[in-house]
Each structure stands twice: as structure tokens, then as C-alpha cells.
Chain A
Amino acid sequence: MLAPTMRPIDTVASAMRALTAHAARTWLTLAAMAFATAAVVVLSALGEGARHYVLDEFTQLGTHLLIIMPGRNETTGGAPPLLGETPRDLTLEDALALRRSRYVAQVAPIAVGAAEVSAGSLSREVTILGSTAAYIDIRRLAMTAGRFLPPGDPERGAPVAVIGQTLAEALFGSASPIGRRIRIGDRRFRVIGLLAAGGVSLGSNLADVAIIPVASAQALFDNPGLFRVLVQAGGRESLDAAAAAVRAIIRERHEGEDDVTVITQDALLGTFDRILGALTLAVAGIAAISLTVAGVLIMNVMLVSVSQRTAEVGLLKALGARQRDVLALFLAEALLLAAAGTALGLALAYVGIWLFNVRFPAFQLVVPIWAPLAAALVSVGAGLVFGLLPARRAARLDPMRALVGR
């Protein structure tokens, strides 16, 4: 007849009794395990949150977007520029020439400067953007009142301006700015539109700008060079063709020089996505080390427990416990510690993340699904691995010697 063995439920219940008998020690170990688990989850949520934040920002910028900047990108290689050579300006003519390509849907040249904007006795120093009617479509902006820059010959600079919410309030308070006259630098403009709020993207706060026709901006700042040219490709699939066309047209206009940098939004997105994804993993990995440290703590606690309970082990053996019964008892204690610590840590992390998200709605922490799973797996694994040594030590104790504490 097969000898009946100790029931698993009795093993777990006995382990629980042993843990609750040493409440202080148990709580300390649980706390270490819980904080380590919470660290893994919170840090990966932070990384994932950052990734989402950046991706959202870029998508807000518009879709199928190419960004063209003057000057060759050093990272693309090529011959180093000759000493004293300044990059050739990217001009309005260059920008308008891009419309020739059938892969290009819209082009918005951008000139940038800072100037004082005043109305009556009130004034404010803001960023001035010079662009065209296409800008509102490409950046997907909305108007609160009035209209955006009118379509028409971009080479002609009409004295009209579209302003952001903050600037409007600074100059006109709660009154409507539409139709009012303002001065930008030493020139006079008429306000024709008010931008809708919420246009914060890539660091430029669109609530605190004035947008004027690009030719007006060039005259205002006495600078024919453009800061950027935004190009919207016909579709996602024509992005690469559009980029190639842009490079070809500029090369042709710049006497064979490849002196602009073309960034596709997708490439940018992909790069950020990869960098932030790797960062999240790295941070979670570092946090996982603290889990292993917590596992070592479990081992220490269990070793102390075994040496304090040598006589108990001897007694169990005298009462007929087999090695595997004793092993299971002590392993169950280690696993219970790890599992309860993990559960506590997950609860802590989710409550913390929820509170953070309620408190700071602008930046949302996002827990990646793998994070709690990985944390649970690593901590229970650590409990198992680090619990095994003490448990085996207990199981192998000689019954007679253990009883008398030798």
C-alpha cells in the first residue's frame, strides 16, 4: 500500500501559521518584496507613459509629414563643409518649387522670429511665425474666431495676422480681437483670426504666437531664409517618393548641392518609439534587480527561520515527516512571502499610478501588460530559487541532532 502523504492544503496552512507567528519579520520581508514589485510596475509605466506622450505629440503635428531644414545633417555623412562655408538659405522660391512634385500635396514654408506685438498701450514679446494658408491644414489647427491666413500669392505679404489665445487676452482682454489693429515690430497688421486653444506641440506654445504671411515675416525680420518647410505627402505610401523628390528639386535649385535635411515624421516616430521602448525595458530591468535583492532577503529570513526552528524540524522528523514534507513546508513559506509581497506590490503600484493619473492628467502613466506579469514571475521565481537553499537545509537535518539542537 502506498503511504499517504501530507496534503498540500495542510502544507500551505502550516506555512501560513509559521509566517503569522513572526509578524514583524514577515511584514518587513513583505514590504521589501512589495516595494520592489511596485518599482518594476511604476517605472515601466513611467517609461510607457513617456512613449505614449511623445508619440501623441508627434501625431498632433500632422500626418504624412516631411520636415525640411536648411543645412546638411552631419549624421548622414558626406564631405565635411569647407571652412567658412555657411549653409545656403532655404528660400521661399525653393519651398514653392516643391509643389511641382506630384507626390507633394501641400507645402507650408515657415519663417520664425521674435518681436514685440502691441495694441494701444499694451504689448507683449512673442514668437512670430510666417507661413501660408496651407499651415492650418498641415498642422491640423482649429480657429476660435475669424479665419486663417488667406490663400493667394505667398510672395505677397498682406498686413494680416492670426493670433493665439494668450496673446489675444494680453492685448485685448476678453474683447474680440477680430478686426483690431496691432503693431508687430514697426509694422501695422490687422487681426483676422483667433487660434483655438490646445495647440501645444514640440515645445512651441501656439497660444502665444502671431502668425503672419511668410513674405511679411521675411520683410519684418529682413531675412530671406526659411526656418523650416513642412511638406505634406499625398499619402503614407508616397512619403519616401516625396522625400526623394524634395531632395532632387532642392539639389537642382542649389547647383547640385545636397544642403538640406529631410526628416520624415514616421522615421522620427520610429526612432523615438525604439529609444523610449528600450529605455522602459532598461528601467524595468534595473527595478527587477531590486526584486532579486528582495529574493535574497527572503533567503536570509528563511535561513534564520530554519536555524531558529531546528528543534521543530527534528520533532517533525521524529513524528514521521519525510524530507520532502519538510522541504515543502519551508518552500511554501518562501513562496507565500514572495506571492503575498508581489500582490501587495501590485496593489500599491496600481493605486499609486491611479492617484498620479488623477492628479496629473497631462501626463498619463501607462502600465504595459508585460510589467505586472514579469514582476510576478521574477518575484515568485526569486522566492522559489532563494527559498530552495534554506528549505533543503531544513529537510536534510539529522533528526536526532536537530531534536537536541546540535
Chain B
Amino acid sequence: MIVLRGIRRSFQVGDQVVHALRDVELTLTDGDYAAVMGPSGSGKSTLLNILGLLDRPDAGSYTLDGTETTTLPEERRARLRRERIGFVFQAFHLIARLTAAENVELPLMLAGQPIRERRRRVAAALETMGLTPRANHRPDQLSGGQRQRVAIARATVTEPRLILADEPTGNLDRASGEDVIAALEALNAQGLTLVVVTHDQALGARARRRIRMDDGAIVT
């Protein structure tokens, strides 16, 4: 359960203040599937970063499963990211020198899991994404769609309850984009909360909820 109350976030750009989020109120229940839509610069990524504990709001309250997160020390927020949240980015953010399997293994390594357990979970996550034959390929040996599915495997390998995807199909052709969305929706079908930022009206239409943003505020 996610509850945002009166969230504000502004950035100082030169001598101007940009209000990226203005008094955002939002409640997401477990298993929700929300599409965040709106014009470029409307604050979608800022909202997602705050949901993912990568950024702190200037004002307001964000409770995640009953825990007030805005006042938590960075150490605790890192732990919540590690255990509860999975990210999928438009630019994939895979580490180029590591293989698909090693990229997927990263969050488990950061969590200090034993090697054997890591191997098992990585293999399962790659299998779910249909990437088993690609396990030992490096990102530059994979297509865009495959890379994003590696990223999804990495986001889900720790079995988080919340998946945040910022324009996950933005760099993909339509067919690969469909695959990626299907993979995310399958996770949602298993009960994970899914928040997807997208420009694509058709993709947005598939979500259970649509959150429209304009100039830092939620309009519907």
C-alpha cells in the first residue's frame, strides 16, 4: 500500500525554480496497475523517482506499507529499495562489461545472498523472461527487447512488491515493446504492484488505472 500526501518537489535551474511536483496526492493498493501519462516535463519521472526512494520530496508524506519513508535515513531507504522495489529504465542501465546473468545477479549480490541461492534465482528469473539461452551474453550482444527483459529479470529477481518502469518501451520497436509490456503485465497478474510511465496511448489504455499529469500535478 502506497500513500502520497501533499508531495512537492522543485528544482533550482539557474535562477529559476521549476516545480516538478505540486501537492501530489496518490494512493496505490497492492496489485495495482497504473499508467502514468502526460506531456514531457510534466513530472512523471520525478514522481517515479520519489516512489522508488531515489529522491526525497521537499514536502509531504510518503508511506510505504505503513512506514513513513521521507524521514528515513539513507541506509534504511537503500534497504527498502533493495527488498521492496524493482526498477526498469528507458535506457536499460545494464552494465556493459557484465553478462546478462551477472547483471541480473547484481541486486542479490548487494543483498549479500549466498552464491548458490543467487545462481538458482538468476536462472529462474532469466527463464521466466525467456532468456536462458542468452544468460552468458553481454548487453552489446543482445537486442533492445532482450536487454529490457534482462532489466526486468534484474528488477524482479529479489521478488519485490513494487515494479516501477519509466518509459520501458521508449527505446524499443513496437513488437519488442509489446513483449516487454506483456512481461510486466504477467508480473502484475501475480500480484505485484506495477507503475508504468508511458507516452503510448494504447499501452496506457491497457492499465487498470491511468494517472494523467500536467505541469507537476495529477489531473485525473
Is there an interface contact between B110 and A321, defined as CB atoms closer than 8 Å?
yes
Among the stretches B59-67, B73-81, B188-196, the one at the interface with A is B73-81
Is there an interface contact between A4 and B112, defined as CB atoms closer than 8 Å?
yes
Which residues of A lie under 8 Å from residue B83 when comparing CB positions?
320
* CB-nearest residue of chain A to B160: A320
Tell me, yes or no, whether A266 is within 8 Å of chain B by CB: no
Among the stretches A6-14, A194-202, A249-257, the one at the interface with B is A6-14
Is there an interface contact between A6 and B54, defined as CB atoms closer than 8 Å?
no
**Cβ contact of B107, chosen from A5, A314, A320, cutoff 8 A:** A320
**Cβ contact of B75, chosen from A21, A316, A322, cutoff 8 A:** A322
**Cβ contact of B82, chosen from A14, A312, A314, A319, cutoff 8 A:** A319
Which residues of A lie under 8 Å from residue B97 when comparing CB positions?
17-18, 21
Is there an interface contact between B112 and A7, defined as CB atoms closer than 8 Å?
yes
- Distance in Å: Cβ of B111 to nearest Cβ of chain A: 6
Provide the bound-state CA to CA distance between A5 and B54, in Å.
Answer: 20
Is there an interface contact between B95 and A320, defined as CB atoms closer than 8 Å?
no
Tell me, yes or no, whether A275 is within 8 Å of chain B by CB: no
Provide the bound-state CA to CA distance between A322 and B79, in Å.
Answer: 8
Residue-wise interface mask of B (70-112) relative to A, using a CB-CB cutoff of 8 A (1 in contact, 0 not):
0000110011011100010100010101100000001101111
Tell me, yes or no, whether A318 is within 8 Å of chain B by CB: yes
Is there an interface contact between B95 and A325, defined as CB atoms closer than 8 Å?
no
* CB-nearest residue of chain A to B151: A315
Tell me, yes or no, whether A3 is within 8 Å of chain B by CB: yes
Provide the bound-state CA to CA distance between A323 and B97, in Å.
Answer: 22
Residue-wise interface mask of A (282-325) relative to B, using a CB-CB cutoff of 8 A (1 in contact, 0 not):
00000000000000000000000000000110111111111101
* With contact pairs A320-B82, A323-B74 given, residues A6 and B106 touching in the complex (Cβ less than 8 Å): no
Tell me, yes or no, whether A403 is within 8 Å of chain B by CB: yes
Tell me, yes or no, whether A383 is within 8 Å of chain B by CB: no
Is there an interface contact between A317 and B78, defined as CB atoms closer than 8 Å?
yes
Which residues of B lie under 8 Å from residue A317 when comparing CB positions?
54, 78, 81
Provide the bound-state CA to CA distance between A314 and B78, in Å.
Answer: 12
Is there an interface contact between B79 and A3, defined as CB atoms closer than 8 Å?
yes
Tell me, yes or no, whether B55 is within 8 Å of chain A by CB: yes
Tell me, yes or no, whether A400 is within 8 Å of chain B by CB: yes
- Distance in Å: Cβ of B114 to nearest Cβ of chain A: 8
Which residues of B lie under 8 Å from residue A387 when comparing CB positions?
none
* With contact pairs A6-B112, A316-B110, A319-B110 given, residues A403 and B93 touching in the complex (Cβ less than 8 Å): yes
Is there an interface contact between B93 and A320, defined as CB atoms closer than 8 Å?
no
**Cβ contact of B110, chosen from A21, A311, A320, cutoff 8 A:** A320
Provide the bound-state CA to CA distance between A4 and B79, in Å.
Answer: 10
Tell me, yes or no, whether A399 is within 8 Å of chain B by CB: yes
Chain B residues 35 to 80 lying within 8 A of chain A, measured CB to CB, are 49, 52, 54-55, 74-75, 78-79
- Distance in Å: Cβ of B192 to nearest Cβ of chain A: 17
- Distance in Å: Cβ of B141 to nearest Cβ of chain A: 15
- Distance in Å: Cβ of B213 to nearest Cβ of chain A: 18
Tell me, yes or no, whether B143 is within 8 Å of chain A by CB: no
* CB-nearest residue of chain A to B157: A319
Tell me, yes or no, whether B113 is within 8 Å of chain A by CB: yes
Is there an interface contact between B110 and A318, defined as CB atoms closer than 8 Å?
no
Which residues of B lie under 8 Å from residue A14 when comparing CB positions?
109
Is there an interface contact between A5 and B112, defined as CB atoms closer than 8 Å?
yes
Is there an interface contact between B110 and A6, defined as CB atoms closer than 8 Å?
yes
- Distance in Å: Cβ of B31 to nearest Cβ of chain A: 23
A-B contact pairs, 27 of them (CB 8 A): A4-B111, A6-B109, A6-B111, A10-B109, A14-B109, A311-B93, A315-B95, A316-B106, A316-B110, A317-B54, A317-B81, A318-B54, A319-B81, A319-B87, A319-B106, A319-B154, A320-B83, A320-B110, A321-B78, A321-B82, A321-B110, A322-B74, A322-B79, A323-B75, A399-B54, A400-B55, A403-B93
Top 5 nearest A-B pairs (CB, nearest first) are A320-B82, A4-B112, A21-B97, A320-B81, A400-B54
Instruction: Name B's A-contacting residues (CB within 8 A).
Output: 49, 52, 54-55, 74-75, 78-79, 81-83, 87, 89, 93, 95, 97-98, 106-107, 109-113, 154, 158
